[in-house]
Structure formats: C-alpha cells, structure tokens
Amino acid sequence: MSTDRPNAVTGAEAMVRMLQGYGVRHVFGLCGDTSLPFYDALYRLDHGIEHVLTRDERSAAYMADAYARVSGRVGVCEGPSGGGATYIAPGLVEANESSIPILAINSDVSTASAGRYPLTELDQAGLFRPLTKWNAVIPSADMLPRLVRTAFRAMTTGRPGAAHLGLPIDVQKARVPEEEIWCDAAHARYPAWPAAPDPVAVEAAVDRLLAARRPLIVCGGGVVTAGAEGELARLAERLDLAVATTISGRGSLADSHANLIGVVGSNGGVAATRAVVEDADLVVFIGCRAGSVTTERWRFPAPGTDIIHIDVDPMVIGASYPALVAIPADARLTLAAINHVLDRQTGLTTLPRFGGADRAHIAKQQKFLEFKALADSSDRPIRPERVVAALNACLPDDAIVVADPGTPCPYLSAFLVMDRPGRRFISNRAHGALGYSLSAAVGAHYARPDAKCISVMGDGSFGFTVGELETTVRKRLPITFIVIANATYGWIKAGQRSGFGERYYSVDFSETDHAAVAQAFGVPAQRIVDPDDVLPALRRALASDGPTLVDIVCQPLQEARAPVSEWIA
C-alpha cells in the first residue's frame, strides 16, 4: 500500500485507535525492538490509554487477566517478539482455560524477513494456537482493523477466552485507510451476545428441580461472569435451596448468605460441605465444568446422581456426568427464565421448600468450629488459620483478595468470609501456576481503584514475581502483599507426605527475609513470627495508601491440616 495515501494512518497508529475504540484504558506490557513503532504511536497520539510498564511479560498477562475478571472488560497486554512471546504465553493459557477475555499483542519480525533467520523469529501463530480461543499474525496493514475486530468478537462471545495477535514491525509502519478503523461497541465488554436458553429445556429443568427431595446448586465462575448473582439469590431463597461454589465461583452469593454452604471439592472443601454433596439427589451445575477438583475426581456427586447442567459452552455438558437436562446457555438468562417459570406457578400451586438454609447452617457451623480451634492457636510457626482469621477481622467490605494457588488457596477458599457477592476473590485455578497473585493484584487495582486489593502468596510464588514490587512502588499502588513463608514448595511437600511415605525430595529452599527484600524495593514491610502480632500488622498494612508487605512465618503445609481432601485422608 502506498505510503503517501491520503486519509491513512500507520499500522501502529491504527492499532492504538482500535484499542481506543474498544474502550481500552490500560495496557500492561514490556518494551522491545520490534515494538518501537507501536510505542511511538502510544507516545504521540491522544488516546486516553495508560501503559503500565511491567518487569516481565508473564506478569503483564496476569495483570490483564485480573483486570478482565474484575472490570468485566477485555484485558490487554503486550510484549516484544521472540522471548517476549514465550514469556507471555502462561498468562494466556490460564485466562483462556478460565474463560477470561484477554488480548495479547506481541510485535514480530518483518514479514519480508520471515524464513531468513532474523533475530527473535518465532512461529507465533503456531505457538498460540493451542493456548488461545483465537489467534493470528497480521499479514498486512490493510487487514489489521478486521483482525482486531475478529479478536474482540472471539474473546467476548460464546465462552469467553483469550486471543493473540502478532504485529510485525513492517505492518506497524505500513498504511491503513482510516475508514477501516471502526469497532463494534458490543464487544468491549463480556459476555457479549449472551445465548438464551431453550424454553422447553427450562421447563424440564424446573420439573426436575421441583420433583427432587434434596437438590443442590453448584456454581462455577460462569455465574459471576454472567452477572447472575441476583437471579441465583432469588431462586435459592424462594425454594430454600442449598448452594455451593467452586473456587472460581466464589461470589455467586455472599459468604454470609443463609443458603450458601461455601466451596466444595478437594481444594477448600471439608467433610461437612462434602456431606451436603453426598446427600443431594439432584445437582444443578451452573457455569461449572464439573472438573476433577470440584468433584474430588468425579466421586462427589457420585456417578448416577441426577444432574442438570447449565453452561455457555456445550462441550462442557456431558463431559463428566450425563445430564438429565442440558442447557447450553448464559447463566443469567437461564436463571431468569427458571424464575419466570416459577413466577407463573406461584399462586397456582405451593412451591416446595427444600431446607437448604438449614443444611448450609449445619455445614458452616461444623466447618468454622474446627477452623476456630486452629485459628485461636498460639503455636509457632504461626498456623495459616490464624492469618485467615485476622483477615476476616480486618478486611474492608469492598476488598478484592487475590490468592496464589499454593498454600494460600485452600485456606482462603474454605475460610475467608467476604460479605458481598461478585468477583472479590480471585485465584488462578485453570493451570495453577505460581507467581500469579502479586501481578494479578496490580490488574485488579486498575480495574477497581477504589477497592483495597490484597495479594496473598507463598514464598515460592514470591520468588517467581518479586520484580513487580518495583512496579507497585513506581506507580504507588495501595496494594497489601502477604507472604505465607515456610521455605518450601508446600503443596508438593504435602503430597510427598500423604502419598509417597514422607520421602521429601528437592522441595525445600533457603529461608528468605521477604520483608527485607521488599524494603530494598522501597515497599514498607513487616516480618511477623508471633501469632499475636498478625492482626495488628495486617491492620497497619491495610491502612497504608501505598504498597505494603507483611511477611508471616507460618507452619508448612505438610505439618498443617489444610482443607485438601487427599492430604486429610
């Protein structure tokens, strides 16, 4: 395309304008040689986008992930070619498998130099094909706007997911007609174009539900993604249904809701909550894949239990349990349709009451009775339960808590109490990579800057991502970081204890003063070894208007009683 064509902009400028058109306000990323035209366009144009410079492309992707989870908008991250693409990949596969729409843009070598061994050449399309819902390397500048529109449409419709665009440096310099730069506002948020349920399937689901004796709803992350919390509460309350969640489904109801029993499954579930699943004669999975963790390897509910399965992804339904009623549709629209059918029946017949609040009360009472006995302990090293109890005592109502998948996840999933519905608890449950929490908390802050963001991580995770402390200092982000320090990869060591005869091999590392490390980055920090100091330290940290870190020396997982079924067994 001619470089002097009137009413044309460069490909780099077109990319900025397309992002602006989709309402993107933050881009998380890291600079590189092949990204220079794109960075120059960000510098020169008036677009309202804040670029958040990160210290690692993986961190940028995790920031975009949490931003998308909390904001309801597409999260955007970027990085250079070569190593920048390989580093950004873990964040994309986590978001994609968690049904979170993030767009990663990696600049690339010139299309003219492909196959001639230029520095940082990489088959980006091949790399990201299995990791994303949709991906492409933009072959020419005139195709850039169309492919960006395709990416946003793919990310936000159907089952949300991740997308990747390769942006060659010569495409960034070539010209794009301005009339091609337009966006579909419907795809700026997700879920876009939600699918309504089949009325016949809805009627069948209601019939099965009303005929049950001890029904149970199990909510995955799809409930919160769809904004279905209100319709769920209405259904649970009118029929007095027991409701459980997966870890990602936390926030479907407030933790204090009378009908909520809490998290079930092998990570965060306990015997008392499992008993409710075992006792159910009908389980309604909503926005939930019914995977190995939620069902404790497909044992609870037991095979043969009646199942109603509601999920936006039809491939999920029937993958683990045969469904008596299958509804491949949006969770909010489906619950609204179920409530509408029940509205019609009100007055014509007496709707049953299933005693779900009583079952939830008994389960939670037993769970927290056992928890309190450990949370009140003055043992050293400090018990993780003591840390969770302190958080329960001092968390602001609007807090967002981001937990890494190691030591923090089972304790916080089971025992952290958050009294508002919605996505306020985040953990990377799809692939469980360490190093997520610190970076993701940055993205959560940008999505909801008026809320207090708390990142809880093990010391193994701290080592993965510590460099982003500099980012929080540079940006003066009021995030509180909590390190559960036990000088081991605790999840693996606990598995070696429970399943391999305590043959501990290559899981322990040197003890680190994480508070001193944080202070070296300029983060005010405290190191806590006395259980009585935990609550005062957290209160001081949460009151700060900048980044803070609390390093808590805790009991290692292999010695603890974490709510992880295979270890307890």
Give the whole-angstrom CA distance, residue 65 versus residue 100.
7
pLDDT surpassing 50 at residue 240: yes
Q: What is the mean pLDDT of residues 274-285?
A: 98
The rounded radius of gyration (Å) of the Cα atoms in the chain is: 24
pLDDT surpassing 70 at residue 254: yes
0.75 surpassed by pTM:
yes
Asked if residue 68 lies in contact with residue 102, where contact means CB atoms within 8 angstroms, the answer is yes
pLDDT digits (tens, 9 = 90+) for 79-102: 999 999 999 999 999 999 999 999
- Cα-Cα-Cα-Cα dihedral sign, residues 375, 366, 300, 251: negative
| DSSP-derived secondary structure for 170-201 | HHHHSEEEGGG----GGGGBSSBSPPPPPHHH
pLDDT surpassing 60 at residue 215: yes
Q: What is the mean pLDDT of residues 52-65?
A: 98
Q: What is the mean pLDDT of residues 204-212?
A: 98
Task: Determine the pLDDT at residue 1.
Answer: 36
Question: 423: which 2 tokens?
Answer: 């996505």
Asked if residue 431 lies in contact with residue 90, where contact means CB atoms within 8 angstroms, the answer is yes
216 phi and psi angles, rounded to 5 deg: -140, 135
pLDDT surpassing 80 at residue 349: no
- Per-residue pLDDT band for 566 (boundaries 50, 70, 90) equals confident
- Per-residue pLDDT band for 557 (boundaries 50, 70, 90) equals confident
Query: How many angstroms separate the first and last alpha carbons of the chain?
Result: 67
pLDDT digits (tens, 9 = 90+) for 104-138: 999 999 999 989 999 999 999 999 999 999 999 99
- Cα-Cα-Cα-Cα dihedral sign, residues 21, 22, 24, 30: negative
Q: Residues with Cβ < 8 Å from 106, sequence gap 6 or more?
A: 78, 79, 80, 81, 84, 85, 88, 124, 164, 165, 166, 167
Omega within 30 of 0 (cis) for the link into 199: no
Q: Domains of the chain (ranges plus CATH)?
A: 8-188 (3.40.50.970), 199-359 (3.40.50.1220), 376-568 (3.40.50.970)
**Mean of the per-residue pLDDT values of the chain:** 96
Task: Determine the pLDDT at residue 6.
Answer: 60
Asked if residue 11 lies in contact with residue 147, where contact means CB atoms within 8 angstroms, the answer is no
Asked if residue 196 lies in contact with residue 262, where contact means CB atoms within 8 angstroms, the answer is no
Task: Determine the pLDDT at residue 81.
Answer: 97
Q: What is the mean pLDDT of residues 414-438?
A: 96
Q: Residues with Cβ < 8 Å from 117, sequence gap 6 or more?
A: none
pLDDT digits (tens, 9 = 90+) for 298-348: 999 999 999 999 999 999 999 999 999 999 999 999 999 999 999 998 877
Q: Residues with Cβ < 8 Å from 123, sequence gap 6 or more?
A: none
- Per-residue pLDDT band for 350 (boundaries 50, 70, 90) equals confident
Task: Determine the pLDDT at residue 7.
Answer: 82
Task: Determine the pLDDT at residue 223.
Answer: 98
pLDDT digits (tens, 9 = 90+) for 435-453: 999 999 999 999 999 999 9
pLDDT digits (tens, 9 = 90+) for 406-421: 889 999 999 999 999 9
Q: Kindly give the residue spans of alpha helices, DSSP state H, lying in 212-299.
A: 221-225, 229-239, 271-279
pLDDT digits (tens, 9 = 90+) for 486-515: 999 999 999 999 999 999 999 999 999 999
- Per-residue pLDDT band for 430 (boundaries 50, 70, 90) equals very high
The residue among 392, 395, 399 whose CA lies nearest residue 450 is: 399
Beta-bridged to residue 175, according to DSSP, are 10
Asked if residue 269 lies in contact with residue 352, where contact means CB atoms within 8 angstroms, the answer is no
Q: In whole angstroms, what separates CA 232 from the centre of its chain?
A: 20
**CA angle centred on 344, ends 218 and 288, rounded to 5°:** 15
The residue among 255, 256, 299, 249 whose CA lies nearest residue 278 is: 299
pLDDT digits (tens, 9 = 90+) for 132-177: 999 999 999 999 999 999 999 999 999 999 999 999 999 999 999 9
- Per-residue pLDDT band for 5 (boundaries 50, 70, 90) equals low
User: CA–CA distance from 219 to each of 246, 254, 293, 304, 546 (Å)?
Assistant: 6, 13, 13, 20, 35
Q: In whole angstroms, what separates CA 549 from the centre of its chain?
A: 22
- Per-residue pLDDT band for 2 (boundaries 50, 70, 90) equals very low
pLDDT surpassing 50 at residue 365: yes
Give the whole-angstrom CA distance, residue 567 versus residue 562.
8
Q: What is the mean pLDDT of residues 239-265?
A: 98
Angle of helix 36-44 versus helix 11-21 axis, rounded to 10 = 60
**CA angle centred on 212, ends 210 and 217, rounded to 5°:** 90
Task: Determine the pLDDT at residue 3.
Answer: 44
